[in-house]
């Protein structure tokens, strides 16, 4: 007896992707039918807070630094389970105040770097990849390293408040 053909709707519906799940694609041309890992297919990316907080508060003269402010050469570890290599880009978020005496937040600014930069030979030692945000002669700098460490190195009216991970 010949095998009975099933419709796609006759198969059970999965609720989670497993590592060995595949999707078949047929383009109708010479390339024919191919399989793709289902977990590699996707639409749109995602943004995740790695460290810090998107809220900042100010006293009369000093912003509350959400990213731990470390001295030059002192490095902070990412939270447990967070890794720069899990993302395509790392984005630094900085909030600026008008001046040391004006505690009102004036603007936000961001800068991002692709994580492949962490694998270049220039940052295998203590320097890391530097992210600078410098609008209107004000600025902030955070360095990140491939060993999941970061360092707030300098600032001028700016508070580095968050590092975000971006997946494409």
What are the tens digits of pLDDT across the range 108-145? Answer: 889 999 999 888 765 555 678 888 887 776 778 888 99
pLDDT in tens, 141-168: 888 998 999 988 767 777 888 999 999 8
Q: With 0-12 CB in 10 A as exposed, 13-18 as middle and 19+ as buried, what is 92?
A: buried
Strands (E), 38-122: 46-52, 76-77, 89-99, 102-114
What is this structure's pTM?
0.68
């Amino acid at each position: 007896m010949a095998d009975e053909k099933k419709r796609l709707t006759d198969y059970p519906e999965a609720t989670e992707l497993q590592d060995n799940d595949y999707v078949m694609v047929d383009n109708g041309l010479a390339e024919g039918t191919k399989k793709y890992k289902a977990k590699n297919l996707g639409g749109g990316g995602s943004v995740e807070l790695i460290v810090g907080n998107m809220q900042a508060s100010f006293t009369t003269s000093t912003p509350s630094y959400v990213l731990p402010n470390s001295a030059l050469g002192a490095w902070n570890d990412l939270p447990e389970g967070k890794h720069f290599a899990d993302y395509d880009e790392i984005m630094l978020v900085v909030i600026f105040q008008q001046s040391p005496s004006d505690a009102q937040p004036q603007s936000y600014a961001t800068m991002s770097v692709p994580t492949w930069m962490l694998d270049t030979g220039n940052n295998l030692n203590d320097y890391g990849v530097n992210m600078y945000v410098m609008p209107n002669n004000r600025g902030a700098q955070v360095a990140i390293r491939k060993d999941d460490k970061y360092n707030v190195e300098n600032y001028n009216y700016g508070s580095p408040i968050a590092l975000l991970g971006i997946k494409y």
